[in-house]
Structure 1
């Protein structure tokens, strides 16, 4: 393993000069700094993380809180986590991944330990219990999601309210007058998870504006749960011809059950999903969908956080504009339903 002393000898400077270049604690001439950096790159020197933290009072570690709940779609969360980790590395940071559901206790552990100098939080609830601790600590943080009160916080997310409105607009313009929403599992709404609540708000507001009937039913996903949910929807609203799905685990069971009940997609029933593009494109019927840009969300969260750490960023909310891609699962409403 290459040592700091070896870097100093290679660059023709003292060990303390190399240390100052690494820590930035003293002003070093541009020529000397460049020579030291070239020696570091050529020799492949890696500063010891603990020593570097002691010298600079910075750990260069970002904590990423990703509670892996049973009612969450894990592939999206992991895609976000990978994007956070790879983007952080380009800025010289490592990522500490926390996957438990401890909530405030995990927040206390991160802040109190000093292991991480900043935090990215996911699975944001409207009244998130972690936020008072975060505000009190004053540690730089970015939320991947929106709580009810965003004052003094830095947040990045898809504009899920606009996404819901896009889905209604698309179906309404195709002539659908009765739309059913297959939502996330009941636990997601019980926790008042922000993305689900905001999507539902966008769906309801736009349906009212369009004069469209809207029925929302949470669902655990899976064939058995969805079979019961679908039967209740057609019992309550037999004229339903449009479905919006915000539940990745319900996509294929819904398509299969519609086929089993003799309803062709999109000739009899249209389906629009809020889900990752890959899932929509690979479904048994290619789904018209609003994409969840997981990689972009992870990248932007890190960039906002690094700007905060560098003193160039500020609080605020950044919402990505949703994009609806039309595929094979949506078409004009049946004539009798118009």
Structure 2
């Protein structure tokens, strides 16, 4: 392995000069800097993480706060985690994964202890109790999600309210006049998770605008729960002809139960979901869906937090507009 001493010898400079070129802590003449950089390239030198941290006072580690809960769809969560880890490596950073439910104080502990240069926070609640603390952390913070009170914070997410409105509009434009939302598990709503609340708000706004009756049903995972939910949703008095589903974990069971009840999708019942594209495509009936752009959102979160590490960048909120893909699970009435 090439050492900094060998780089210094090759460039004809001192070891401290090479260190200053790497860290940028001291002004070095352009000629000397160019000679050192040429030696680094010629020898294939790669400073180790410890040396970089000592030279720059940075750990080159991003903290990722993602509490793993029993009511979460872990495969979808891991799509976000994978995207963040991959994007961080593209920016020459590692990721410290914090999966324990973190209360106030966790972000300060991680950054004050030089464990991470910045924090990305997932599983954001509408009235998130961590918000006051996150505003005081002496390090960049980006939320993958949008709390109601986000003043002074950088956030990125899908525009879930717009997604709720778009799915209602899609069914209404096909002639459906009685539709239902099969939503997230009860614990997700009880906890006040931001994305679920925002999609529900968008769904209700659009059904109200179109003077359509509102029918909302939280659904826990598991065959018995799905069956009971459908018993309520498809009660003959409701006359439901279209389903909006915001619950990736129950999609497969839902379609199988509809088939067991001899209900054809989309002839008897149209179904549209919000879920990752790979999930929508792999189901027994490929679903018309709005994508959960985990890869894109993760990459944007990393780009935002890395930019804030190196620049004095004002807080911003970025909402990605929903992208609907038709796959034949919805039809005109």
Q: Bigger shift: 32-41 or 247-256? A: 32-41
Instruction: For structure 2, list consecutive stretches of 5 or more residues without a partner in the other structure.
Output: none
Query: What is the TM-score of this pair, normalised by structure 1?
Result: 0.94
Q: How does 1:116-195 map to 2 (within 5 A)?
A: 116-195=116-195
**Could you list the per-position Cα deviations for residues 10-54 of structure 1 after superposition, in whole angstroms to 9, with x for gaps in the alignment?**
222211111001110112233432332333344343323334323
1:290 & 1:78 partners in 2: Cα distance?
19
Q: 1:65 to 1:236 in 2, by over 3 A?
A: farther
Q: Bigger shift: 46-55 or 161-170? A: 46-55
Q: Bigger shift: 132-141 or 35-44? A: 35-44
**Conserved 8 A contact 2:178-2:238:** no
Which aligned segments of 4 or more residues in structure 1 are displaced greater than 4 angstroms? none
Aligned residues: 333
2:82 & 2:250 partners in 1: Cα distance?
25
Question: How big is the shift at 1:236?
Answer: 7.3
- Secondary structure at 1:84's aligned position in 2? helix
- Secondary structure at 1:214's aligned position in 2? coil
Q: 1:282 to 1:185 in 2, by over 3 A?
A: same
What residue in structure 2 maps to residue 261 of structure 1? 261
**Conserved 8 A contact 2:242-2:271:** yes
1:211 & 1:217 partners in 2: Cα distance?
19
What residue in structure 1 maps to residue 106 of structure 2? 106
1:210 & 1:188 partners in 2: Cα distance?
27
Matched, 1:89 2:86: no
Backbone CA RMSD of aligned residues: 1.6
Instruction: For structure 1, list consecutive stretches of 5 or more residues without a partner in the other structure.
Output: 334-338
Q: 1:124 to 1:115 in 2, by over 3 A?
A: same
What residue in structure 2 maps to residue 70 of structure 1? 70
Query: What is the TM-score of this pair, normalised by structure 2?
Result: 0.95
Q: 1:236 to 1:202 in 2, by over 3 A?
A: farther
Q: 1:77 to 1:31 in 2, by over 3 A?
A: farther
Q: 1:230 to 1:3 in 2, by over 3 A?
A: same
- Secondary structure at 1:151's aligned position in 2? coil
**Conserved 8 A contact 1:178-1:237:** no
Question: How big is the shift at 1:213?
Answer: 1.8
Q: Bigger shift: 17-26 or 64-73? A: 64-73
Question: How big is the shift at 1:76?
Answer: 2.2
Q: 1:44 to 1:129 in 2, by over 3 A?
A: farther
What residue in structure 1 maps to residue 208 of structure 2? 208
Question: How big is the shift at 1:105?
Answer: 4.7
**Could you list the per-position Cα deviations for residues 51-106 of structure 1 after superposition, in whole angstroms to 9, with x for gaps in the alignment?**
43233222111111111112112222222222212222222222111112233353
What residue in structure 2 maps to residue 23 of structure 1? 23
2:294 & 2:66 partners in 1: Cα distance?
13
Matched, 1:310 2:314: no
Q: 1:69 to 1:20 in 2, by over 3 A?
A: same
- Secondary structure at 2:215's aligned position in 1? strand
Q: 1:326 to 1:6 in 2, by over 3 A?
A: same
What residue in structure 2 maps to residue 14 of structure 1? 14
1:54 & 1:273 partners in 2: Cα distance?
49
What residue in structure 2 maps to residue 328 of structure 1? 328
What residue in structure 2 maps to residue 37 of structure 1? 37
**Could you list the per-position Cα deviations for residues 241-291 of structure 1 after superposition, in whole angstroms to 9, with x for gaps in the alignment?**
110111111111111111111211000100000000011111111100000
**Conserved 8 A contact 2:159-2:320:** yes
**Conserved 8 A contact 2:65-2:102:** no
- Secondary structure at 2:150's aligned position in 1? coil
